[in-house]
Every structure is written in C-alpha cells, then in structure tokens.
Amino acid sequence: MNKKQRKIYDTLFKEPMRDDILWHDVITLIKAIGGSATQEDNLGFRFELKTLSLNIYTPHPQKELKRYQVKAIREFYLRQGLTHEIQRI
C-alpha cells in the first residue's frame, strides 16, 4: 500500500464520516490490499477480498461516495479483520 492508498484507507475510517472520497480511489485501494473489483453491470461492482464479497453500486451522478457506501466499505474491511490500525503493506 503506497502513501496515497494509506491516506484513502485512513479517510474511510475518519469521524465524522467524510463525503469527499472518490470512487476510483476506493477501487485502487481494494486492489492494493489484495482484493479485486469487477464490474457486474452498468452501475454495480463486486469487491472481493479473502473469503468475502461486497456488491455495491457506483455513486452517480457525482464521483464521490455517499455516506451509506462509505459505511458499507468500512464494514466490509472490518469483517475481513482489517482495522483502522492496519499495518503498512
């Protein structure tokens, strides 16, 4: 995980929840920590990491994640055992 990806990861867990996290950055992050992001249909993506998956829609019309999407991604990482205090990879 490079410096920018670490910053994105940290931003996902900030309180109050941020609303300026870019969708493209989240896709880059999931790939950096060993997961995959595949487009399922025009608006949906499937994130896979270790043994779990998350189906999520892309934000539209803007490029930033909505709060419910940030919450879903946080929970996805936490279910994988990743915490805010993840070690630098």
| Residue 88: predicted pLDDT | 45
Q: How far is CA 17 from CA 35, 42, 43, 49, in A?
A: 23, 27, 23, 23
**Contact assessment for residue 56 and residue 73, using Cβ atoms and an 8 Å cutoff:** yes
| Residue 55: predicted pLDDT | 95
CA–CA separation, 83 and 60 (whole Å) = 28
| Residue 89: predicted pLDDT | 42
pLDDT in tens, the chain (89 residues): 899 999 999 999 999 999 899 999 999 999 999 999 999 888 899 999 988 999 999 998 899 999 999 999 999 999 988 876 554 44
| Other residues' Cβ atoms within 10 Å of the Cβ of residue 69 | 17
| Residue 84: predicted pLDDT | 60
This prediction has a pTM of 0.85
